[in-house]
Amino acid sequence: MVHTKLRRQQVSDAKRFYEILSNPNFIYWTTKPKSVADERRWLLNNTGKKRKNTDHNFSIICAGCLVGAAGIKIYPHTPYIGEIGYFVDEAYWGKGIAPQAVRILEKIGFSKLGLVRIEIRMNIKNKASEMVAIKAGYKKEGLLRKAFKHGDKYIDEYLYAKVK
């Protein structure tokens, strides 16, 4: 297993994130930047999102390399619940990086952000993401039918969660 650490995202991460997310094998990550400039604009908004306590986004670092990202989204109407999302460069898939990142985020969510519940939702076809949730100790709570809209399609999701 590769040692994983998280650091706050930086605007300079834009090029690397664009490279990772532009991979045609990334079929379940639905929000893809159109350009490096587009990704840079998204990253510039992180400070405001953190200040509003709606998004806490981190870069995943392994052996000094930027290999992905992970974050916690908190919705204003349920400030005690966080939703974790993550992505890892294909070259690092299957190395236990995402479950480590989820565990680190979980500690941040429960201890620093005061969350009492953390959720992970994924497309029901995304078996790798489901394995990440299971390896990180999350419990499957159910199937959310047509829970996510991508383009003109509605996608079913699994809901995994952990409570404090």
Per-residue model confidence as pLDDT tens digits over 50-61: 889 899 999 999
What SS3 state is found at 142? strand
- Burial, 73: exposed, middle or buried (Cβ in 10 Å; 0-12, 13-18, 19+)? middle
What residue ranges define each of the domains in the chain, with the CATH number in brackets? Answer: 4-163 (3.40.630.30)
Per-residue model confidence as pLDDT tens digits over 33-81: 899 999 999 999 888 888 898 999 999 999 999 999 999 999 999 999 9
The confidence band for 151, taking pLDDT boundaries of 50, 70 and 90, is: confident
Exposure letters 120-155 (e unless 16+ CB within 10 A, then b)? bbbbeebeebbebbeebebeeeeeeeeeeeeeeeeb
- What is the pTM for the complete model shown? 0.92
